[in-house]
């Protein structure tokens, strides 16, 4: 098992480039299955989750070529329509492949993804939406068998603006030959990226980024296309917070400001000086941050994925902050590790009350999940002394070369095998 060894106390200063978005790459890799031609994707982050997704689409019959952050997918002949159970369990979000496989093969077999480190992660909204559209679903011993031969035109109204369910419906609808509307759709930028990819492929999706999406499904799509994945707004937010927690001065290149406005506003409220020039954002933290309150909400509200990360900055800010996690029911596990570094936190249900301390104490801690693990890196950078973070496999799922990026900014972080 790998660990990070961090010798904290350094200010992070300099320039760094954001990687491509994990949460946009995954649905677009699934969408490549819709194409009978060749898809070239640029800016795909080299992380564990994209590797799993590529393993699955290889098993379905696609030819894959990888060259750094470029992925070439030839999905002219898809033979298999089953997502293997062990890969479903490794990555819950592989459920969005179901929509793409259904579109292409008219059948899909997959298992219940099961809960994970931040909550139950049910897929009831996905299945309910499929049923509304005439997709036949049989569930037996944890396996789900879908068939979309009798798919109909329809309107799906989501009880909750689920990102994955919105993506799954768009994918299933694209080759259905039907006209499908989604009401109360998720509005995240990753949905817009998916729409842009599908439309470049020759599909017809309208309204992504709003609550109302219309898909005019066609019978098949075949085009050799190139597409560049959008930058990762959560990695960018993480690097912004790394500046805030080390009184740093960081310029992050390749940013889409409209994707990160809620993070910008909060960090400005906490005392950061933030400037933007072209696609570069500079975050300067001259002094210790001030406390502020956070409520996570669906986009364009404050993103839940940034909750552990900004909470860690608030843990060493002046004053008391109140955080309400409205999206996932179990996203405070990292706080137990942060308490080992001195954090003063009480949790009441979905609310965390954080009383700022001057500085974290270095300690031996364990990553509990992807974003909670990234939060511990920031705490280690703030603490003087040596912090060891074990279980960093969680972090490697969603951050490309995060240790290299931090070293480039003057941080002292190294990977050690075996801890
Ligand atoms: C996506 O997950 C992201 N993952 C998550 O990022 C992100 O936190 C989440 O959207 C919210 O923004 C990817 O894009 C790969 P949801 P997803 O469906 O699609 C409940 C990260 O750290 N729900 O919007 O799974 C669900 O339990 C990850 O990069 C149902 O109840 O999120 C949760 O409480 C973590 N039934 C809420 O909705 C369903 O059928 C939001 O889930 C589906 C979801």
Q: Each residue of 3-14: pLDDT tens digit?
A: 999 999 999 999
What's the Cα-to-Cα distance from 27 to each of 9, 341, 361, 399, 418, rounded to whole Å? 38, 37, 39, 17, 33
In ligand 1, the atom with minimum distance to the C-alpha of 126 is: 40
With a CB cutoff of 8 Å and minimum separation 6, the contacts of 280 are 251, 252, 253, 254, 255
CATH class belonging to 22-228 = alpha beta
| pLDDT value of residue 402 | 98
**To which residue do tokens 């904290």 refer?**
8
The pLDDT of residue 93: 85
Q: Is 301 in the pocket of ligand 1 (CB under 6 A)?
A: no
Question: What is the distance between the alpha carbons of residues 49 and 130, in angstroms, rounded to a whole number?
Answer: 25
Provide the pLDDT for residue 116.
72
**Domains of the chain: which residue ranges?**
2-19+231-417, 22-228
The pTM score is 0.98
Which of 164, 192, 262 has most ligand 1 atoms within 8 Å of CB, for mutation? 164
Report the pLDDT value the prediction gives residue 373, as an integer from 0 to 100: 98
Q: Report the nearest-CA residue for atom 13 of ligand 1.
A: 23
Mutate to test the pocket of ligand 1, among 47, 160, 370 (most ligand atoms within 8 A of CB): 160
The low-confidence residues of the chain, meaning pLDDT below 70, are 114-115, 419
Q: Which of 418, 351, 349, 405 is nearest to 378 (CA)?
A: 405
Question: How far from chain centre, in Å, is Cα 142?
Answer: 26
The residues with which 346 forms a beta bridge, in sequence order, are: 353
Ligand 1 geometric centre to CA of 305 (Å): 10
Task: Give residue for tokens 């919105």.
Answer: 166
| Residue nearest (by alpha carbon) to ligand 1 atom 8 | 305
Distance of alpha carbon 310 from alpha carbon 245, whole angstroms = 9
Q: Is 121 in the pocket of ligand 1 (CB under 6 A)?
A: yes
Q: Is 372's C-beta closer than 6 angstroms to any atom of ligand 1? A: no
238 lines ligand 1 (CB under 6 A): no
Q: Is 370 in the pocket of ligand 1 (CB under 6 A)?
A: yes
Q: Say yes or no: CB of residue 126 within 6 Å of ligand 1.
A: yes
Q: Which residues are catalytic?
A: 116
Cα–ligand 1 centroid distance for 163 (angstroms): 6
Asked, colleague to colleague, whether 2-19+231-417 and 22-228 share their fold, the answer is: yes
As beta bridge partners, residue 330 has: none
Q: ω before 300 within 30° of 0 (cis)?
A: yes
How far is 88 from 241, CA to CA, in rounded Å? 32
Q: Is the CB of 47 under 6 A from ligand 1?
A: no
Contact 62/72 with Cβ under 8 angstroms?
A: no
SS3 content of the chain, % helix, strand, coil (to 5): 35, 30, 35
Could you tell me the fold of the domain covering 2-19+231-417?
UDP-n-acetylglucosamine1-carboxyvinyl-transferase; Chain (3.65.10)
For ligand 1, pick from 45, 132, 190, 327 the residue to mutate: most ligand atoms within 8 Å of CB.
327
Interval between CA 164 and ligand 1 midpoint (Å): 6
Per-residue pLDDT at 244: 98
> Is-contact 133 151, C-beta < 8 A?
yes
CB of 23 within 6 A of ligand 1: the answer is: yes
């Amino acid at each position: 098992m790998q660990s990070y060894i961090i010798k904290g106390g350094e200010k992070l200063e300099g320039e760094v480039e954001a990687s491509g978005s994990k949460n946009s790459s995954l649905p677009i890799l699934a969408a490549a299955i819709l194409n009978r031609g060749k898809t070239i994707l640029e800016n795909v982050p080299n992380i564990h989750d994209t590797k799993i997704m590529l393993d699955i689409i290889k098993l379905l019959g696609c030819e894959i070529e990888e060259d750094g952050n470029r992925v070439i997918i030839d999905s002219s002949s898809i033979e298999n329509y089953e997502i293997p159970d062990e890969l479903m369990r490794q990555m819950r979000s592989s459920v969005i492949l179901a929509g793409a496989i259904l579109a292409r093969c008219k059948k899909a077999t997959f298992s219940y993804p099961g809960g994970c480190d931040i909550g139950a992660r049910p897929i009831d909204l996905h299945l309910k939406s499929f049923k509304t559209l005439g997709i036949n679903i049989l569930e037996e011993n944890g396996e789900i068998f879908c068939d979309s031969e009798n798919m109909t035109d329809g309107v799906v109204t989501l009880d909750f603006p689920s990102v994955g369910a919105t993506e799954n419906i768009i994918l299933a609808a694209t080759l259905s030959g039907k006209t499908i509307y989604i009401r109360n759709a998720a509005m995240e930028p990753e949905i817009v990226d998916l729409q842009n990819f599908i439309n470049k492929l020759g599909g017809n999706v309208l309204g992504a980024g709003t609550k109302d999406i219309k898909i005019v499904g066609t019978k098949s799509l075949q085009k050799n296309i190139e597409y560049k994945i959008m930058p990762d707004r959560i990695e960018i937010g993480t690097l912004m917070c790394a500046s805030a927690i080390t009184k740093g001065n960081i310029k992050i290149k390749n940013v889409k400001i409209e994707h990160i406005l809620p993070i910008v506003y909060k960090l400005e409220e906490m005392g950061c000086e933030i400037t933007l020039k072209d696609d570069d954002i500079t975050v300067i933290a001259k002094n210790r941050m001030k406390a502020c309150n956070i409520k996570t909400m669906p986009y364009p509200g404050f993103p839940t994925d940034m909750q552990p990360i900004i909470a860690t900055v608030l843990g060493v800010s002046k004053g008391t902050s109140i955080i309400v996690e409205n999206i996932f029911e179990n996203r405070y596990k990292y706080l137990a590790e942060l308490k080992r570094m001195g954090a003063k936190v009480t949790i009441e249900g979905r609310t965390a009350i954080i009383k700022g301390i001057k500085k974290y104490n270095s300690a031996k801690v364990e990553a509990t999940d992807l974003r909670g693990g990234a939060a511990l890196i920031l705490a280690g950078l703030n603490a003087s002394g040596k912090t060891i973070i074990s279980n960093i496999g969680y972090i490697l799922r969603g951050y490309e070369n995060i240790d290299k990026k931090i070293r480039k900014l003057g941080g002292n972080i190294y990977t050690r095998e075996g801890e």
